[in-house]
């Protein structure tokens, strides 16, 4: 070991909710460690969410270790500043060994066992490393975007804050996952003309038969379903999240209703060439598939209600209020008055700084419940790492407790 290297048992890379949860358990178990965060603990919530952002899951699902939601609205949905306050209060509650503005640029295997970590140029040696930096590092923007006339303003969803950022005129939102669907509503409520390129994202109702759908699914033990028991197995990790919102107490996001009220709906965007957008002929299919997913979830709730003998109000089946006209006409952006494009097509993880044999041929990390084949090397906070809640406030504590048990060799109860 180099004399300039510092040695510590555990290094956590990432100081968001996942890394902080891991730190909480290590602190409780009195395991010396350090947390390296490239920016700040609340960076993603403060700097990568729009102003009207809110949770899409009820507040009662916020269960960071030793820090459950304690407000007076457990069935509500925290807005952006409330989320920031919740995370900051969590940090204050146990004072983790958090080093903010510290960028990890390299992780390699160490000749003495364990791993060599380079952080802000300093060398560290750790027996255990937990990667808790998330899966949303590189914003996805297609290559052809660079050829679009620069007079059309372009922005990714992580940089969108509010409509005042956008020049006057109509807006094209690309992608109908949670971010795209919610941003369309945000723009529409400001009485701006907006077009949406609808992809294959599923949808779910906010409320059904007298309760939030999340409450029903919790009673049905859906949130305890592990990825190895999921019908899609590892494929669950690649599925787009259902679109719904917690805004103003929570409601459905029905794209057909948007269309009926004036939003322009189009199929999946194929390309933009000479300021003309071309779409796949899949708008009806995507809308129908999203509705089918929602209907299937309702059917599973109906079956549960019947099976358990629960008395609950009934609801009429959903009837689509709008249908596409069947054409697949390209959209001339300038003729349509479009002056802005918001890319809501997701992120790619960036693991180029990790030189440890834990990746498959597609450069995706391979683990079981966060534990890789490389001794002492772990991942935490990724979607469906173990359950649906693994990348969320609701399930990351359980995963962090499990990884702590792997490090300490003793049973670590979930807080």
Q: How confident is the model over 25-63, as pLDDT tens digits?
A: 999 999 999 999 999 999 999 999 999 999 999 999 999
Q: How far is CA 275 from CA 120, 151, 167, 201, 318, in A?
A: 43, 11, 17, 26, 37
Please tell me the total count of domains within the chain.
Answer: 2
Looking at the fold, whether 339 and 354 belong to one and the same domain comes out as: no
Inside any domain, residue 123: yes
- β-strand partners of 54: 79
Q: How far apart are CA 333 and CA 277, in angstroms?
A: 7
CB 89 within 8 A of CB 338: no
Please tell me which residue, 234 or 309, carries the higher pLDDT value: 309
Q: Terminus-to-terminus CA distance in the chain, angstroms?
A: 37
Q: What is the mean pLDDT of residues 122-136?
A: 94
Inside any domain, residue 38: yes
CATH number, position 331: 3.50.50.60
Per-residue pLDDT of 248-301, as tens digits, reads 999 999 999 999 999 999 999 999 999 999 999 999 999 999 999 999 999 999
Confidence of residue 2 (pLDDT cuts 50, 70, 90): low
What percentage of residues in the chain have a pLDDT greater than 90?
A: 92
Inside any domain, residue 209: yes
The reported pLDDT for the residue numbered 85 is 97
Looking at the fold, whether 184 and 254 belong to one and the same domain comes out as: yes
Structure tokens at 107: 């992780």
Containing structural domain, residue 258: 139-343
Looking at the fold, whether 156 and 57 belong to one and the same domain comes out as: no
Per-residue pLDDT of 216-249, as tens digits, reads 999 999 999 998 888 877 777 777 889 999 999 9
Q: How far is CA 46 from CA 82, 240, 242, in A?
A: 11, 23, 23
Looking at the fold, whether 284 and 327 belong to one and the same domain comes out as: yes
Flag whether pLDDT at 3 surpasses 70: no
Looking at the fold, whether 307 and 175 belong to one and the same domain comes out as: yes
Looking at the fold, whether 207 and 244 belong to one and the same domain comes out as: yes
Q: How far apart are CA 90 and CA 67, in angstroms?
A: 6
The domain boundary residue, chosen from 318, 343, 368:
343
The reported pLDDT for the residue numbered 322 is 97
Per-residue pLDDT of 317-354, as tens digits, reads 999 999 998 878 999 999 999 999 999 999 988 999 99
Looking at the fold, whether 193 and 159 belong to one and the same domain comes out as: yes
- All residues at 6 or more sequence positions from 125 whose CB lies less than 8 Å from its CB, including other chains: 1, 5, 6, 7, 8, 110, 112, 114, 115, 116, 117
Residue 275 sits at φ, ψ, to 5 deg, of 65, 25
What percentage of residues in the chain have a pLDDT greater than 70?
A: 99
Inside any domain, residue 413: no
Inside any domain, residue 330: yes
Q: How far apart are CA 33 and CA 26, in angstroms?
A: 7
- All residues at 6 or more sequence positions from 148 whose CB lies less than 8 Å from its CB, including other chains: 154, 272, 275, 341
Confidence of residue 136 (pLDDT cuts 50, 70, 90): confident
Inside any domain, residue 1: no
Q: Over the range 248-269, which residues count as b (16 or more CB within 10 Å of their CB) and which as e? A: eebebbbbbebbeeebbbbbbb
Per-residue pLDDT of 368-396, as tens digits, reads 999 999 999 999 999 999 999 999 999 99
Looking at the fold, whether 257 and 158 belong to one and the same domain comes out as: yes
Looking at the fold, whether 303 and 399 belong to one and the same domain comes out as: no
The domain boundary residue, chosen from 301, 322, 343:
343
Q: Mean pLDDT over all residues of the chain?
A: 96
Flag whether pLDDT at 101 surpasses 80: yes
Angle between helices 17-28 and 80-94 (to 10 degrees): 20
Q: How far apart are CA 224 and CA 152, in angstroms?
A: 46
Looking at the fold, whether 65 and 132 belong to one and the same domain comes out as: yes
Inside any domain, residue 264: yes
Inside any domain, residue 213: yes
């Amino acid at each position: 070991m180099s004399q300039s290297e510092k040695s510590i048992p555990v290094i956590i890379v990432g100081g968001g909710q996942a890394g902080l949860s891991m730190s909480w358990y290590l602190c409780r178990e009195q395991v010396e460690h350090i947390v390296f965060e490239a920016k700040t603990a609340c960076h993603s919530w403060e700097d990568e969410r729009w102003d009207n952002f809110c949770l899409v899951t009820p507040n009662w699902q916020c269960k960071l270790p030793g820090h459950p939601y304690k407000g007076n609205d457990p069935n509500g949905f925290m807005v952006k500043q409330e989320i920031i306050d919740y995370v900051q209060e969590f940090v204050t509650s146990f004072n983790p060994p958090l080093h903010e503005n510290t960028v990890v640029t390299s992780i390699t295997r160490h000749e003495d066992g364990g791993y060599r970590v380079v952080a802000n140029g300093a060398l560290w040696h750790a027996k255990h490393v937990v990667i808790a930096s998330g899966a949303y590092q590189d914003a996805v923007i297609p290559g052809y975007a660079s050829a679009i006339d620069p007079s059309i303003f372009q922005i990714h969803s992580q940089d969108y804050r509010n409509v005042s950022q956008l020049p006057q005129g109509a807006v094209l939102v690309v992608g109908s996952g949670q971010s795209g669907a919610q941003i369309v509503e945000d723009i529409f409520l400001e009485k701006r003309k907006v077009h949406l390129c609808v992809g294959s994202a599923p949808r779910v109702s906010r409320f059904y038969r007298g309760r939030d759908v999340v409450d029903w699914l919790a009673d049905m033990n859906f949130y305890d379903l592990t990825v190895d028991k999921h019908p899609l197995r590892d494929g669950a990790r690649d599925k787009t999240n259902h679109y719904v919102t917690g805004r103003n107490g929570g409601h459905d996001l029905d794209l057909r209703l948007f269309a009926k009220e004036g939003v322009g709906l189009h199929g999946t965007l194929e390309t933009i060439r000479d300021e003309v957008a071309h779409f796949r002929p899949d708008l009806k299919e995507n809308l129908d598939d999203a509705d089918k997913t929602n209907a299937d979830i309702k059917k599973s709730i109906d079956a549960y209600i019947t099976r358990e003998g629960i008395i609950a109000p009934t609801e009429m089946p959903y009837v689509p209020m709008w249908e596409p006209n069947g054409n697949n006409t390209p959209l001339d952006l300038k003729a349509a008055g479009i002056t802005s494009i918001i890319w809501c097509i997701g992120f790619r993880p960036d693991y180029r700084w990790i030189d440890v044999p834990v990746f498959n041929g597609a450069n995706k990390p391979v683990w079981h419940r966060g534990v890789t084949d490389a001794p002492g090397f772990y991942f935490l906070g990724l979607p469906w790492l173990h359950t649906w809640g693994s990348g969320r406030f609701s399930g990351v504590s359980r995963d962090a407790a499990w990884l702590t048990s792997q490090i300490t060799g003793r049973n670590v109860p979930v807080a």
